[in-house]
Structure 1
Amino acid sequence: MTVLIGFVFFGLFSPGPNVILLTTSGARFGFRATLPHLLGVALGVGVIAFVTALGLGALLEGAPRMRFALTIVAACWILWMAWKLWNAPPSQAHGKERPFSFIEAVLFQWVNPKIWAVALSASMLVPELAPIAQACTLAITFSVTNLFVCLFWTYAGSLLKSLLVDPIKWQIFMRGMALALVCFSALVFL
Protein backbone atom coordinates (compact mmCIF):
# COMPACT_ATOMS: atom_id res chain seq x y z
CA MET A 1 0.00 0.00 0.00
CA THR A 2 2.94 2.34 0.71
CA VAL A 3 4.17 1.83 -2.85
CA LEU A 4 0.72 2.72 -4.20
CA ILE A 5 0.49 5.90 -2.09
CA GLY A 6 4.02 6.95 -3.10
CA PHE A 7 3.32 6.32 -6.77
CA VAL A 8 0.03 8.24 -6.68
CA PHE A 9 1.62 11.12 -4.74
CA PHE A 10 4.49 11.59 -7.18
CA GLY A 11 2.21 11.05 -10.18
CA LEU A 12 -0.19 13.75 -9.02
CA PHE A 13 2.31 16.17 -7.44
CA SER A 14 4.35 16.57 -10.62
CA PRO A 15 3.28 19.36 -12.98
CA GLY A 16 0.27 18.69 -15.14
CA PRO A 17 -3.00 20.42 -15.95
CA ASN A 18 -4.42 20.24 -12.40
CA VAL A 19 -1.24 21.53 -10.75
CA ILE A 20 -0.91 24.37 -13.27
CA LEU A 21 -4.58 25.36 -13.08
CA LEU A 22 -4.77 25.22 -9.27
CA THR A 23 -1.56 27.22 -8.83
CA THR A 24 -2.81 29.78 -11.33
CA SER A 25 -6.25 29.94 -9.72
CA GLY A 26 -4.71 30.40 -6.28
CA ALA A 27 -2.64 33.29 -7.65
CA ARG A 28 -5.56 34.86 -9.52
CA PHE A 29 -8.46 34.39 -7.14
CA GLY A 30 -6.92 33.42 -3.80
CA PHE A 31 -7.01 30.26 -1.74
CA ARG A 32 -10.58 30.48 -0.43
CA ALA A 33 -12.14 31.23 -3.84
CA THR A 34 -10.29 28.26 -5.35
CA LEU A 35 -11.56 25.75 -2.76
CA PRO A 36 -14.50 24.48 -4.88
CA HIS A 37 -12.07 23.89 -7.77
CA LEU A 38 -9.64 22.14 -5.42
CA LEU A 39 -12.33 19.86 -3.94
CA GLY A 40 -13.67 19.06 -7.41
CA VAL A 41 -10.22 17.95 -8.53
CA ALA A 42 -9.77 15.77 -5.44
CA LEU A 43 -13.13 14.05 -5.99
CA GLY A 44 -12.78 13.89 -9.76
CA VAL A 45 -9.46 12.04 -9.70
CA GLY A 46 -10.99 9.53 -7.29
CA VAL A 47 -13.86 8.92 -9.71
CA ILE A 48 -11.43 8.39 -12.60
CA ALA A 49 -9.35 6.01 -10.49
CA PHE A 50 -12.52 4.11 -9.52
CA VAL A 51 -13.77 3.61 -13.09
CA THR A 52 -10.25 2.80 -14.29
CA ALA A 53 -9.95 0.01 -11.72
CA LEU A 54 -13.36 -1.33 -12.78
CA GLY A 55 -12.10 -1.74 -16.34
CA LEU A 56 -12.88 1.49 -18.21
CA GLY A 57 -9.17 2.16 -18.55
CA ALA A 58 -8.56 -1.26 -20.09
CA LEU A 59 -11.52 -0.69 -22.42
CA LEU A 60 -9.97 2.58 -23.63
CA GLU A 61 -6.61 0.91 -24.10
CA GLY A 62 -8.33 -1.73 -26.24
CA ALA A 63 -10.11 0.84 -28.45
CA PRO A 64 -7.32 2.83 -30.13
CA ARG A 65 -9.66 5.02 -32.22
CA MET A 66 -11.69 6.03 -29.19
CA ARG A 67 -8.52 6.66 -27.24
CA PHE A 68 -7.14 8.83 -30.08
CA ALA A 69 -10.39 10.82 -30.27
CA LEU A 70 -10.28 11.44 -26.50
CA THR A 71 -6.64 12.47 -26.82
CA ILE A 72 -7.57 15.05 -29.47
CA VAL A 73 -10.41 16.39 -27.29
CA ALA A 74 -8.08 16.57 -24.26
CA ALA A 75 -5.33 18.37 -26.20
CA CYS A 76 -7.82 20.90 -27.63
CA TRP A 77 -9.34 21.55 -24.21
CA ILE A 78 -5.93 22.06 -22.62
CA LEU A 79 -4.88 24.39 -25.47
CA TRP A 80 -8.08 26.42 -25.00
CA MET A 81 -7.28 26.79 -21.28
CA ALA A 82 -3.72 27.83 -22.20
CA TRP A 83 -5.14 30.50 -24.53
CA LYS A 84 -7.30 31.84 -21.71
CA LEU A 85 -4.30 31.97 -19.34
CA TRP A 86 -2.13 33.65 -21.99
CA ASN A 87 -4.74 36.40 -22.36
CA ALA A 88 -5.76 36.64 -18.69
CA PRO A 89 -5.95 40.20 -17.39
CA PRO A 90 -4.04 41.20 -14.23
CA SER A 91 -5.55 39.75 -11.05
CA GLN A 92 -7.07 43.07 -9.98
CA ALA A 93 -9.01 43.32 -13.24
CA HIS A 94 -10.52 39.88 -13.53
CA GLY A 95 -14.13 41.19 -13.36
CA LYS A 96 -16.38 38.34 -14.47
CA GLU A 97 -13.52 35.80 -14.46
CA ARG A 98 -13.81 33.13 -11.79
CA PRO A 99 -12.14 29.88 -10.79
CA PHE A 100 -13.51 26.53 -11.92
CA SER A 101 -16.62 25.47 -10.04
CA PHE A 102 -16.70 22.17 -8.16
CA ILE A 103 -18.61 20.46 -11.00
CA GLU A 104 -16.34 21.91 -13.71
CA ALA A 105 -13.28 20.61 -11.87
CA VAL A 106 -14.83 17.12 -11.46
CA LEU A 107 -15.77 17.02 -15.15
CA PHE A 108 -12.36 18.28 -16.27
CA GLN A 109 -10.80 15.07 -14.96
CA TRP A 110 -12.57 13.12 -17.73
CA VAL A 111 -10.42 14.90 -20.33
CA ASN A 112 -7.27 15.17 -18.21
CA PRO A 113 -4.90 12.65 -19.82
CA LYS A 114 -2.43 12.76 -16.95
CA ILE A 115 -5.03 11.44 -14.50
CA TRP A 116 -5.93 8.59 -16.84
CA ALA A 117 -2.26 7.68 -17.29
CA VAL A 118 -1.50 7.72 -13.56
CA ALA A 119 -4.71 5.81 -12.75
CA LEU A 120 -3.96 3.13 -15.37
CA SER A 121 -0.46 2.66 -14.02
CA ALA A 122 -1.55 2.75 -10.37
CA SER A 123 -4.26 0.14 -10.97
CA MET A 124 -1.44 -2.39 -11.44
CA LEU A 125 -0.22 -1.66 -7.89
CA VAL A 126 -3.49 -2.29 -6.05
CA PRO A 127 -3.44 -5.46 -3.98
CA GLU A 128 -5.55 -8.37 -5.21
CA LEU A 129 -9.03 -7.69 -3.88
CA ALA A 130 -12.56 -8.08 -5.12
CA PRO A 131 -13.15 -5.68 -8.05
CA ILE A 132 -15.25 -3.17 -6.08
CA ALA A 133 -12.80 -3.24 -3.13
CA GLN A 134 -9.92 -2.69 -5.54
CA ALA A 135 -11.73 0.23 -7.20
CA CYS A 136 -12.61 1.77 -3.82
CA THR A 137 -9.01 1.41 -2.60
CA LEU A 138 -7.70 3.17 -5.67
CA ALA A 139 -10.39 5.89 -5.53
CA ILE A 140 -9.78 6.67 -1.86
CA THR A 141 -5.99 6.66 -2.34
CA PHE A 142 -6.28 9.05 -5.28
CA SER A 143 -8.77 11.43 -3.66
CA VAL A 144 -7.10 11.67 -0.26
CA THR A 145 -3.57 11.93 -1.65
CA ASN A 146 -4.64 14.45 -4.26
CA LEU A 147 -6.45 16.55 -1.66
CA PHE A 148 -3.10 17.24 0.00
CA VAL A 149 -1.40 17.82 -3.37
CA CYS A 150 -4.14 20.28 -4.37
CA LEU A 151 -3.95 22.09 -1.03
CA PHE A 152 -0.20 22.55 -1.48
CA TRP A 153 -0.35 23.90 -5.05
CA THR A 154 -3.35 26.15 -4.42
CA TYR A 155 -1.74 27.60 -1.31
CA ALA A 156 1.55 28.07 -3.19
CA GLY A 157 -0.35 29.96 -5.88
CA SER A 158 -2.14 32.11 -3.31
CA LEU A 159 1.25 33.08 -1.83
CA LEU A 160 2.30 34.31 -5.26
CA LYS A 161 -0.69 36.65 -5.48
CA SER A 162 1.03 39.41 -3.51
CA LEU A 163 4.16 39.09 -5.66
CA LEU A 164 2.19 39.41 -8.88
CA VAL A 165 0.60 42.82 -8.35
CA ASP A 166 2.87 44.30 -11.02
CA PRO A 167 1.17 43.77 -14.42
CA ILE A 168 4.45 42.76 -16.06
CA LYS A 169 5.17 40.07 -13.43
CA TRP A 170 1.56 38.94 -13.72
CA GLN A 171 1.81 38.59 -17.48
CA ILE A 172 5.10 36.68 -17.24
CA PHE A 173 3.60 34.29 -14.68
CA MET A 174 0.38 33.71 -16.63
CA ARG A 175 2.17 33.24 -19.92
CA GLY A 176 4.63 30.84 -18.29
CA MET A 177 1.70 28.79 -16.98
CA ALA A 178 0.03 28.94 -20.41
CA LEU A 179 3.22 27.67 -22.07
CA ALA A 180 3.43 24.86 -19.52
CA LEU A 181 -0.11 23.81 -20.51
CA VAL A 182 0.81 23.97 -24.21
CA CYS A 183 3.82 21.71 -23.55
CA PHE A 184 1.62 19.33 -21.63
CA SER A 185 -0.94 19.22 -24.46
CA ALA A 186 1.85 18.00 -26.78
CA LEU A 187 2.82 15.31 -24.27
CA VAL A 188 -0.64 13.68 -24.43
CA PHE A 189 0.33 12.22 -27.81
CA LEU A 190 3.37 10.37 -26.45
Structure 2
Amino acid sequence: MAIFQYRDGLQTDLWMETATLTGLALYALVMTITPGPNNLMLTTSGLVFGMARTWPHILGIPFGVAVQLMSVGAGLGAVFALEPRIQIFLKIIGTAYLLWLAYKLWRAAEMPDASLAKPVSFFQAAAFQFVNPKAWLIAVTVIAAFISPDNGYLIQLVFASAIFTVVGIPCLAVWAAFGAGLRQVLHDPSKLLLINRSMSALAALTAGLFWL
Protein backbone atom coordinates (compact mmCIF):
# COMPACT_ATOMS: atom_id res chain seq x y z
CA MET A 1 0.00 0.00 0.00
CA ALA A 2 1.46 3.34 -0.99
CA ILE A 3 1.92 6.34 1.25
CA PHE A 4 0.23 8.51 -1.33
CA GLN A 5 -2.37 7.76 -3.98
CA TYR A 6 -4.09 9.74 -6.73
CA ARG A 7 -7.85 10.02 -6.74
CA ASP A 8 -9.48 9.20 -10.07
CA GLY A 9 -6.05 9.52 -11.73
CA LEU A 10 -6.61 13.25 -12.20
CA GLN A 11 -5.92 14.90 -8.89
CA THR A 12 -2.58 16.69 -8.74
CA ASP A 13 -2.55 17.04 -4.95
CA LEU A 14 -1.47 13.90 -3.13
CA TRP A 15 -3.47 12.67 -0.19
CA MET A 16 -2.19 10.49 2.58
CA GLU A 17 -3.71 7.22 3.66
CA THR A 18 -4.04 7.37 7.42
CA ALA A 19 -3.59 3.64 7.92
CA THR A 20 -0.38 3.54 5.88
CA LEU A 21 1.02 6.63 7.55
CA THR A 22 0.31 5.17 10.99
CA GLY A 23 1.89 1.88 10.02
CA LEU A 24 5.03 3.56 8.71
CA ALA A 25 5.33 5.76 11.79
CA LEU A 26 4.92 2.76 14.11
CA TYR A 27 7.48 0.82 12.11
CA ALA A 28 9.91 3.74 12.39
CA LEU A 29 9.27 3.92 16.14
CA VAL A 30 9.83 0.21 16.75
CA MET A 31 12.94 -0.05 14.58
CA THR A 32 14.51 3.11 16.03
CA ILE A 33 13.77 2.68 19.73
CA THR A 34 14.69 -1.01 19.99
CA PRO A 35 18.30 -1.99 20.81
CA GLY A 36 20.82 -2.13 18.00
CA PRO A 37 24.31 -0.95 17.07
CA ASN A 38 23.25 2.70 16.77
CA ASN A 39 21.55 2.84 20.15
CA LEU A 40 24.37 1.08 21.93
CA MET A 41 26.88 3.48 20.41
CA LEU A 42 24.73 6.47 21.42
CA THR A 43 24.43 5.28 25.01
CA THR A 44 28.18 4.85 25.21
CA SER A 45 28.76 8.25 23.63
CA GLY A 46 26.38 9.91 26.09
CA LEU A 47 28.24 8.23 28.94
CA VAL A 48 31.71 9.21 27.74
CA PHE A 49 31.12 12.58 26.09
CA GLY A 50 27.82 13.87 27.48
CA MET A 51 24.64 14.83 25.66
CA ALA A 52 25.83 18.04 23.99
CA ARG A 53 28.77 16.41 22.19
CA THR A 54 26.62 13.44 21.11
CA TRP A 55 24.09 15.49 19.11
CA PRO A 56 26.04 15.32 15.82
CA HIS A 57 26.00 11.53 16.20
CA ILE A 58 22.25 11.55 16.87
CA LEU A 59 21.47 13.74 13.84
CA GLY A 60 23.81 11.88 11.52
CA ILE A 61 21.93 8.60 11.90
CA PRO A 62 18.58 9.68 10.37
CA PHE A 63 20.45 11.55 7.65
CA GLY A 64 22.27 8.34 6.75
CA VAL A 65 19.01 6.36 6.85
CA ALA A 66 17.38 8.90 4.52
CA VAL A 67 20.22 8.63 2.00
CA GLN A 68 20.04 4.86 2.31
CA LEU A 69 16.30 4.85 1.64
CA MET A 70 16.87 6.94 -1.48
CA SER A 71 19.66 4.60 -2.60
CA VAL A 72 17.57 1.46 -2.13
CA GLY A 73 14.66 3.16 -3.84
CA ALA A 74 16.93 3.94 -6.79
CA GLY A 75 17.79 0.26 -7.16
CA LEU A 76 20.79 -0.29 -4.91
CA GLY A 77 18.93 -2.98 -2.98
CA ALA A 78 18.57 -5.04 -6.17
CA VAL A 79 22.31 -4.80 -6.75
CA PHE A 80 23.01 -6.26 -3.30
CA ALA A 81 20.53 -9.07 -3.93
CA LEU A 82 22.28 -9.99 -7.17
CA GLU A 83 25.80 -9.77 -5.72
CA PRO A 84 26.01 -11.33 -2.22
CA ARG A 85 29.75 -10.63 -2.04
CA ILE A 86 28.97 -6.92 -1.66
CA GLN A 87 27.01 -7.72 1.49
CA ILE A 88 29.92 -9.72 2.89
CA PHE A 89 32.26 -6.84 2.17
CA LEU A 90 29.96 -4.41 4.00
CA LYS A 91 29.76 -6.79 6.99
CA ILE A 92 33.55 -6.88 7.18
CA ILE A 93 33.77 -3.08 7.04
CA GLY A 94 31.02 -2.71 9.64
CA THR A 95 32.66 -5.21 11.97
CA ALA A 96 36.03 -3.48 11.66
CA TYR A 97 34.44 -0.08 12.30
CA LEU A 98 32.62 -1.24 15.43
CA LEU A 99 35.77 -2.85 16.81
CA TRP A 100 37.73 0.33 16.12
CA LEU A 101 35.02 2.43 17.78
CA ALA A 102 34.95 0.12 20.82
CA TYR A 103 38.71 0.56 21.14
CA LYS A 104 38.37 4.35 20.93
CA LEU A 105 35.69 4.37 23.62
CA TRP A 106 37.77 2.10 25.83
CA ARG A 107 40.72 4.44 25.50
CA ALA A 108 38.56 7.52 26.05
CA ALA A 109 37.57 6.20 29.45
CA GLU A 110 41.22 6.27 30.49
CA MET A 111 41.59 9.97 29.73
CA PRO A 112 41.38 12.34 32.69
CA ASP A 113 39.49 14.78 30.51
CA ALA A 114 36.97 13.30 28.04
CA SER A 115 37.06 16.51 26.03
CA LEU A 116 40.41 15.34 24.68
CA ALA A 117 38.65 12.44 22.92
CA LYS A 118 36.43 12.79 19.88
CA PRO A 119 32.87 11.46 19.64
CA VAL A 120 31.41 10.07 16.41
CA SER A 121 30.84 12.90 13.94
CA PHE A 122 27.70 13.64 11.90
CA PHE A 123 29.12 12.18 8.70
CA GLN A 124 30.68 9.17 10.44
CA ALA A 125 27.26 8.33 11.91
CA ALA A 126 25.62 8.75 8.50
CA ALA A 127 28.22 6.60 6.76
CA PHE A 128 27.89 3.85 9.38
CA GLN A 129 24.32 3.19 8.25
CA PHE A 130 25.64 1.75 5.01
CA VAL A 131 27.42 -1.02 6.91
CA ASN A 132 24.69 -1.47 9.52
CA PRO A 133 22.52 -4.56 8.79
CA LYS A 134 19.61 -3.17 10.81
CA ALA A 135 19.60 0.00 8.71
CA TRP A 136 19.54 -2.06 5.49
CA LEU A 137 16.64 -4.10 6.85
CA ILE A 138 14.74 -0.87 7.54
CA ALA A 139 15.38 0.53 4.06
CA VAL A 140 14.45 -2.64 2.19
CA THR A 141 11.28 -3.17 4.26
CA VAL A 142 10.10 0.41 3.79
CA ILE A 143 10.55 0.22 0.01
CA ALA A 144 8.79 -3.15 -0.19
CA ALA A 145 5.91 -2.48 2.20
CA PHE A 146 5.13 1.22 2.06
CA ILE A 147 6.27 2.58 -1.31
CA SER A 148 4.31 2.18 -4.55
CA PRO A 149 6.23 2.44 -7.85
CA ASP A 150 3.24 4.01 -9.57
CA ASN A 151 2.12 7.03 -7.58
CA GLY A 152 4.53 9.87 -6.82
CA TYR A 153 7.44 7.52 -6.21
CA LEU A 154 10.05 10.18 -5.42
CA ILE A 155 7.67 12.10 -3.16
CA GLN A 156 6.92 8.90 -1.26
CA LEU A 157 10.63 8.31 -0.71
CA VAL A 158 11.13 11.84 0.57
CA PHE A 159 8.11 11.56 2.84
CA ALA A 160 9.20 8.20 4.24
CA SER A 161 12.64 9.66 4.98
CA ALA A 162 11.00 12.61 6.74
CA ILE A 163 8.92 10.28 8.91
CA PHE A 164 11.99 8.33 9.99
CA THR A 165 13.76 11.58 10.81
CA VAL A 166 10.90 13.03 12.85
CA VAL A 167 10.24 9.77 14.71
CA GLY A 168 13.85 8.67 14.95
CA ILE A 169 15.56 11.70 16.47
CA PRO A 170 13.62 11.63 19.79
CA CYS A 171 14.06 7.83 20.04
CA LEU A 172 17.80 8.05 19.43
CA ALA A 173 18.10 10.96 21.86
CA VAL A 174 16.56 8.81 24.61
CA TRP A 175 19.45 6.34 24.38
CA ALA A 176 22.06 9.09 24.40
CA ALA A 177 20.31 10.78 27.33
CA PHE A 178 20.35 7.49 29.23
CA GLY A 179 24.12 7.34 28.89
CA ALA A 180 24.47 11.00 29.80
CA GLY A 181 22.25 10.40 32.85
CA LEU A 182 24.55 7.64 34.05
CA ARG A 183 27.42 10.07 33.67
CA GLN A 184 25.69 12.55 35.97
CA VAL A 185 24.63 9.99 38.58
CA LEU A 186 27.85 8.02 38.86
CA HIS A 187 30.35 10.37 40.42
CA ASP A 188 32.68 7.58 41.43
CA PRO A 189 35.37 7.50 38.68
CA SER A 190 36.00 3.79 39.19
CA LYS A 191 32.31 2.91 38.68
CA LEU A 192 32.06 5.21 35.69
CA LEU A 193 35.13 3.57 34.19
CA LEU A 194 33.69 0.10 34.78
CA ILE A 195 30.37 0.93 33.12
CA ASN A 196 32.05 2.66 30.19
CA ARG A 197 34.34 -0.28 29.57
CA SER A 198 31.39 -2.64 29.80
CA MET A 199 29.62 -0.57 27.13
CA SER A 200 32.76 -0.58 25.01
CA ALA A 201 32.91 -4.37 25.29
CA LEU A 202 29.25 -4.60 24.27
CA ALA A 203 29.97 -2.42 21.26
CA ALA A 204 32.65 -4.90 20.23
CA LEU A 205 30.31 -7.85 20.79
CA THR A 206 27.60 -6.12 18.75
CA ALA A 207 29.81 -6.61 15.71
CA GLY A 208 28.81 -10.26 15.94
CA LEU A 209 25.23 -9.30 15.07
CA PHE A 210 26.42 -8.53 11.54
CA TRP A 211 27.03 -12.23 10.94
CA LEU A 212 23.80 -13.68 12.30
- Normalised by the length of structure 2, the TM-score is 0.80
What residue identity is the alignment partner of 1:183? L
- CA contact 1:25–1:34 (8 Å) conserved in 2: yes
Question: Which whole-Å CA distance do the structure 2 matches of 1:152 and 1:113 have between them?
Answer: 22
Partner residue of 2:133?
A: 113
How far off its partner does 1:50 sit?
2.1
- Residue 11 of structure 2 is aligned to residue 11 of structure 1: no
- Residue 209 of structure 2 is aligned to residue 187 of structure 1: yes
Question: Which whole-Å CA distance do the structure 2 matches of 1:149 and 1:180 have between them?
Answer: 20
- CA contact 1:88–1:174 (8 Å) conserved in 2: no
Partner residue of 2:7?
A: none
Question: Which whole-Å CA distance do the structure 2 matches of 1:187 and 1:34 have between them?
Answer: 24
How far off its partner does 1:77 sit?
0.9
Question: Which whole-Å CA distance do the structure 1 matches of 2:146 and 2:201 have between them?
Answer: 35
Question: Which whole-Å CA distance do the structure 2 matches of 1:131 and 1:2 have between them?
Answer: 19
Q: What do the CA deviations read for 1:108-129 (whole angstroms, capped 9, x no partner)?
A: 2222222112221222221423
Partner residue of 1:131?
A: 153
Question: Which whole-Å CA distance do the structure 1 matches of 2:111 and 2:167 have between them?
Answer: 29
**1:24-103 matched pairs, under 5 angstroms:** 24-89=44-109, 92-103=112-123
Q: Which has the larger radius of gyration?
A: 2
- Normalised by the length of structure 1, the TM-score is 0.88
Task: Extract unaligned runs of 5+ from structure 2.
Answer: 1-20
Question: Which whole-Å CA distance do the structure 1 matches of 2:178 and 2:76 have between them?
Answer: 34
Aligned residue for 1:99, secondary structure, equals: coil
- CA contact 1:82–1:178 (8 Å) conserved in 2: yes
Partner residue of 2:8?
A: none
Question: Which whole-Å CA distance do the structure 1 matches of 2:154 and 2:125 have between them?
Answer: 25
How far off its partner does 1:15 sit?
1.5
Question: Which whole-Å CA distance do the structure 2 matches of 1:159 and 1:126 have between them?
Answer: 36
Aligned residue for 1:100, secondary structure, equals: coil
**1:172-183 matched pairs, under 5 angstroms:** 172-183=194-205
- Residue 190 of structure 2 is aligned to residue 165 of structure 1: no
Question: Which whole-Å CA distance do the structure 1 matches of 2:43 and 2:183 have between them?
Answer: 10
